[in-house]
Structure 1
């Protein structure tokens, strides 16, 4: 089946790339785009360009969620890789390339969505269904990019339309509640405008079910405690709203339970019934391959298995605490983690790494070109979020929670349990979604991040590179230094940095 092309070769992209060079400041409008949006084919291409900005999403959440969390102790004796300050909770991250890229990449996606929304009208796309789909996709993606930003940085500037460079310099960071207002509005509109499914030629595009699932996650995240900071939690108790959406997806959506855990991530079983929304990748040197499977394993492993790479990234070891949370018989451990390997010189390397998305027989040109899709929302996640909503106070029973958790446990080859608590739920999510970029967000959303990390630090930080204890300021990242320099006083840095 044809996947959505992540990169579009056209005059539009030339204009967008030239504009993005200025995005160290803010998302700007593209004056040359006015001559491009002439018919439905142009808008199809432009919407594909919004999807294209999802390419770095898996790497971003690996570095800023997995590496940040208790799933990884991603530090080495070298101490020079950009992910290590993320791992080590240093307070000078405003110049870190990963923090900067996350800001720019998300705002580039927002800029593209705004450009489409500003120019979309019935005169250029007369077909109502097609025009609604374009608008629904643009709003869904804009909401996703803003949700990414609010979880990472807290307050951010809100652009609900294209702006000129001069106008951008007058837009301050908006309160988190205002950012969420746009996210919720966009997703509600997307739910109304997006179709419930797409034909094979458009497989991978957002659907109304994906929008409902994402909105449920937004409600859960908004309901998190504030921790006394201007972060993603507003303590608004919207668990019932989340549950209503999740029940709709579960009861009426086209998804189904996949009995074989490993098959969910099989290169030959993409778009299986567990996938609600994912990022579509194609390998083969087209610029549409995923880079993330090649960043999770050490250089020496790829050397040993004969996969070439143009540049090197040191390994990002998993924490011993994560490995120990898996029972020996848990089938998810072997799918998600490789525990050591033999290097090209015959030496044994015991370091564990994530391999959930790695198939050594199915790569493109090198270790940064993989065709495996990356799931953003899975049906298993929808079910587990229902359990979370009930545990947090939404109407429901303990039996419903236990049933959902035991579905995942039995699939993994484990015995069922009863009386599932929030702590038990989080540990089950940790094993189920290991390597999928959820862990830090899960801890923050459920109010457990400070307690959990402060219990973990003394036993795992064997190199003494982390703070003795974490305070809530570490929950979000700093505003990139380049943004603070655009206009004096426009933005204030997040506390703690």
Structure 2
């Protein structure tokens, strides 16, 4: 299948792949005649999507492996030498403001937002050159969807952040303070509402992978659910807003669209030869062989010792910093759970012929489909699966929206039947979260689940008490719910930002 990625990820847009906010080349495009046709605007929108891939300044899924999965109780990675970013993040060290991963996540999201803002500015000034009002509105909806998508990450990870709705110069950016979380959410909600009202439900052919109205509703449901969570941190992403009914309405629209369905085979969801299947609501597109078009994120999970034997190129986590799947997660799977085989690599034979006790995620790895190097995996990365829609809807019911206990049990049992497990009854929030943990293991949702439901402190500290044999993990506090502002950002202009408490 032809993929949109060929266009998206080979286009390092207007020199903005650098890890800073020096986006001066973007400010020049309106004066040099770039936005003079519909094709130019299409290419510019493609450039916003490019932020999700390697050529966009990082690799969006790989960023989530470090900042979400490695932060959660799904991975135990204290590190022997303690020099890897994910080790410090896994250990809840308070000195992580200088880490490259913290800085890259800030820059990746803001660079993407600047790209989206440039498109929106130019649409306001030059939309007439497109020659089709509906197409211009479509471009606007895509740019707003992506701007909201990236701002949602910033709120979840950093709390209060600068609110920038138009292109600004580097000097102007130095005058913009952090905005209250509620103000950032106001823009996110407005952008997603515009997107869901002005995008199609689906695409075909090479257009697949673009934002749809149903993808906008899916992200909007996550936003409402996150806003509704208990307000543990005064500047965190949860506002105790009680918007579960609004989330349920978005999820019901997706379900009632009849565009999606659960697959019978769990492993088929992540097959390299079954991309774009009925389970996928929206995913990030990758393709092997193009310059910067492949993904790096599978490499973030596996051990380099395994790669030396089973892959045609080096890469993976070194022995002193392996992202080892926690015993706590593995022990949560009932005997006979079919998902285990498709989710984990538990041992392998190394290059000395010895069996290695390994515990890493290999949900996204197929050695027969390896590309040219560790940055060249072609598997699309799912942002939202239909099973997630069903389980989030069950969560809304448990939080008091329409629906019954039977509906909640039915959603969970559909997941369990596919996993080869017996059915259960009287599912509560705790049982739902445990099923989500198993179903989405390695999909970078666990930390968000814990924060959104207000269970993060209890769960993580209980995990540390039983799992941390190396005694390197620190007690998790409310302050750990969000990350520090990158030190590099604090140093650009003294006094512009205050560091988040606890760092």
Fold equivalence (TM over 0.5):
yes
The secondary structure found in structure 1 opposite 2:162 is coil
The secondary structure found in structure 2 opposite 1:345 is coil
Which of 45, 48, 65 is residue 46 of structure 2 equivalent to? 48
Equivalent residues, number: 492
Runs of at least 5 residues in structure 2 that lack an aligned partner in the other structure: 54-58
Is 1:352 matched up with 2:359? yes
CA distance, structure 2, for counterparts of residue 312 and residue 404 of structure 1: 36
CA distance, structure 1, for counterparts of residue 408 and residue 356 of structure 2: 40
Is 1:464 matched up with 2:471? yes
User: For residue 62 of structure 1, what is the aligned residue in structure 2?
Assistant: 65
Alignment CA distance shift 1:222-1:312 (3 Å): closer
User: For residue 475 of structure 1, what is the aligned residue in structure 2?
Assistant: 481
Alignment of 1:164-179 (within 5 A): 164-179=169-184
User: For residue 192 of structure 2, what is the aligned residue in structure 1?
Assistant: 187
Alignment CA distance shift 1:306-1:244 (3 Å): closer
Alignment CA distance shift 1:90-1:40 (3 Å): same
Instruction: Give the C-alpha shift of residue 315 in structure 1.
Output: 2.4
Alignment CA distance shift 1:85-1:9 (3 Å): closer
Alignment CA distance shift 1:85-1:245 (3 Å): same
CA distance, structure 2, for counterparts of residue 418 and residue 5 of structure 1: 43
User: For residue 89 of structure 1, what is the aligned residue in structure 2?
Assistant: 92
**Higher alpha-carbon deviation: 113-122 or 89-98:** 113-122
Instruction: Give the C-alpha shift of residue 199 in structure 1.
Output: 2.2
CA distance, structure 2, for counterparts of residue 462 and residue 480 of structure 1: 30
The secondary structure found in structure 1 opposite 2:240 is coil
CA distance, structure 1, for counterparts of residue 218 and residue 448 of structure 2: 16
Is 1:423 matched up with 2:430? yes
User: For residue 368 of structure 2, what is the aligned residue in structure 1?
Assistant: 361
CA distance, structure 2, for counterparts of residue 327 and residue 13 of structure 1: 46
User: For residue 159 of structure 1, what is the aligned residue in structure 2?
Assistant: 164
CA distance, structure 1, for counterparts of residue 113 and residue 340 of structure 2: 37
User: For residue 26 of structure 2, what is the aligned residue in structure 1?
Assistant: 30
User: For residue 150 of structure 2, what is the aligned residue in structure 1?
Assistant: 145
Normalised by the length of structure 2, the TM-score is: 0.95
Instruction: Give the C-alpha shift of residue 60 in structure 1.
Output: 1.1
Normalised by the length of structure 1, the TM-score is: 0.96
Which of 457, 465, 472 is residue 450 of structure 1 equivalent to? 457
Point out 4+ residue stretches in structure 1 off by more than 2 angstroms.
5-10, 23-29, 309-315
Instruction: Give the C-alpha shift of residue 328 in structure 1.
Output: 2.1
User: For residue 56 of structure 2, what is the aligned residue in structure 1?
Assistant: none
Aligned residues of 1:209 and 1:253 also touching (Cα < 8 A): no
The secondary structure found in structure 2 opposite 1:338 is strand
CA distance, structure 2, for counterparts of residue 310 and residue 353 of structure 1: 14
Which of 394, 402, 405 is residue 395 of structure 1 equivalent to? 402
Aligned residues of 2:217 and 2:250 also touching (Cα < 8 A): yes
Q: Encode CA deviations 1:77-128: one digit per residue, 9 max, x unaligned.
A: 2322121101111001110011110000001110100000110143121213
Alignment of 1:401-412 (within 5 A): 401-412=408-419
The secondary structure found in structure 2 opposite 1:381 is helix
CA distance, structure 2, for counterparts of residue 191 and residue 214 of structure 1: 10
The secondary structure found in structure 2 opposite 1:67 is helix
Is 1:198 matched up with 2:203? yes
Instruction: Give the C-alpha shift of residue 27 in structure 1.
Output: 6.5
Instruction: Give the C-alpha shift of residue 133 in structure 1.
Output: 1.7
CA distance, structure 2, for counterparts of residue 81 and residue 272 of structure 1: 36
CA distance, structure 1, for counterparts of residue 271 and residue 17 of structure 2: 35
Which of 323, 330, 352 is residue 337 of structure 2 equivalent to? 330
Aligned residues of 1:28 and 1:168 also touching (Cα < 8 A): no
Which of 244, 248, 261 is residue 243 of structure 1 equivalent to? 248
Alignment CA distance shift 1:335-1:393 (3 Å): same
Q: Encode CA deviations 1:204-232: one digit per residue, 9 max, x unaligned.
A: 11100000111011000000111143110
Which of 232, 241, 254 is residue 227 of structure 1 equivalent to? 232
User: For residue 492 of structure 2, what is the aligned residue in structure 1?
Assistant: 486
Alignment CA distance shift 1:451-1:78 (3 Å): same
Alignment CA distance shift 1:263-1:8 (3 Å): closer
